[in-house]
Structure 1
Amino acid sequence: MGRIKSCLALGALGLALSGCSIVAPPYTPSIDNVQTLKNSGAAPTRVGKFTETGTAVPYPIPLRANTLRSPYGDTWSAYLSEAVTRELTMAGKLSPDADVEISGTLLRNEIDPAISTGTGDVSARFVVRKGDAVRYDRIKSVHREWESSFAAAVAIPKAVTEYGYTVQALLTALYADPAFLDALK
């Protein structure tokens, strides 16, 4: 039995080190973010176009010898758009015909499964329009850290999981801005 476990562990390690492409799990909304949106008094809102710019938004994201891909439209801006859409939907605030629209540009999107401390850095410009009027236009950024490992078989899955939490933290920072919540009214 111990020999089988050892063989399985070595096989998993070999796969992790062989350089494969991993698809990020679907975005899981933050209950706290959803509750903030519910309590905000926001009007019905639609999600507009999300784009990305610059070399600070690599696709796919390199994770040592592996790469991380988005499950949505082969872009990280689509991942961010889906995150906003899911949280608005759960809060009961999403409406495709609404006058209020959230759009954005992903400016930085990096995950590093370093040997002892993994990091995630995500930055985006969010714009809220009501009709033709821009009501909000600001950049939000988040930096997160977590315990990582020398072993790729530990560090890579952890970094993949932490990516979703990093996007959640970015949206938490956005929703914590009173000017953003006022722009949704």
Structure 2
Amino acid sequence: MKTLIRSVFISSAAMMFVTGCAMVAPGYNPSMENVQSLKNNSTTAMKVTPFGSEKSPENNNPISIRGSSLASPYDQSYSSYLTAALKQELQLANRLSNDAGIEVTGILLKNDIDAAGFSTGYTTVSARFIVKKDGKEVFNQIKTVKYEFPSSFVGSVAIPAAVQSYNVAVQKLLASLFADQAFNLATK
């Protein structure tokens, strides 16, 4: 019996090593606080064009979490994740329209999860947000969030916590955009 258990364990470990530990992040889950903020601060419809992604060591795709890789569920692109998140928030606030004269776009600058700590992890997301009104740029600012989440020395606890932290970090990034008075003035 011990031989059978040992064989199963070794086979499972070998299979994980051969296939790697690749995961796909959950889809974006909108924040009702963000939706309410949009409803309170803007009455104008906006369109969202795809975000770009800056190539840099701080802008990871996929994201490495303790030897595992975390890919975006949106075309395996975190700039597409940010685009989808913004569209969902605007749609729920009844502010999304493909025909709108106000366009929101941007560039993903930083994208990382640090789950190496024994009790705390950090998810960092940074993007340049650009608003154009009838083709003319009226807003261009960088927003950055470093979200702290509870982690663990134990990988089976730390990795799921890190994966779930990404959605919250993007929610907080968008919340900082929607709370910006310059953004609200540019989108009126």
Report the TM-score when normalising by structure 2: 0.88
Matching residue of 2:25? 24
SS of the residue corresponding to residue 166 of structure 2 reads helix
Larger CA deviation: 60-69 vs 41-50: 41-50
Give the conservation status (yes or no) of the 8 Å contact 1:42–1:181.
Answer: no
Matching residue of 1:138? 141
Matching residue of 2:46? 45
Structure 2 unaligned regions, length at least 5: 1-8
SS of the residue corresponding to residue 139 of structure 1 reads strand
Partner Cα distance (1:157, 1:132) in 2 = 42
SS of the residue corresponding to residue 97 of structure 1 reads coil
Partner Cα distance (1:35, 1:48) in 2 = 22
Cα drift, residue 49 of structure 1: 2.4
Matching residue of 1:75? 77
Cα drift, residue 113 of structure 1: 1.1
Cα drift, residue 39 of structure 1: 1.2
Identity of aligned residues (%): 44
Cα drift, residue 111 of structure 1: 0.5
SS of the residue corresponding to residue 49 of structure 1 reads coil
Change in CA separation of 1:14 and 1:173 when aligned onto 2, cut-off 3 Å: farther
SS of the residue corresponding to residue 72 of structure 1 reads coil
Larger CA deviation: 23-32 vs 107-116: 107-116
Structure 1 counterpart of 2:61, one-letter code: Y
Give the conservation status (yes or no) of the 8 Å contact 1:63–1:112.
Answer: yes
Number of equivalent positions = 174
Pairing 1:119–2:122 present: yes
Partner Cα distance (1:58, 1:128) in 2 = 25
Cα drift, residue 14 of structure 1: 5.8
Matching residue of 2:171? 168
Partner Cα distance (2:149, 2:13) in 1 = 24
Cα drift, residue 126 of structure 1: 0.2
SS of the residue corresponding to residue 88 of structure 2 reads helix
4+ aligned runs moved over 4 Å, structure 1? none
Matching residue of 2:183? 180
Partner Cα distance (2:170, 2:152) in 1 = 22
Partner Cα distance (1:14, 1:23) in 2 = 20
Cα drift, residue 29 of structure 1: 0.4
Partner Cα distance (1:147, 1:58) in 2 = 21
Cα drift, residue 119 of structure 1: 0.4
Structure 1 counterpart of 2:175, one-letter code: T
RMSD: 1.8
Matching residue of 1:34? 35
Give the conservation status (yes or no) of the 8 Å contact 1:128–1:135.
Answer: yes
Pairing 1:107–2:109 present: yes
Matching residue of 1:58? 60
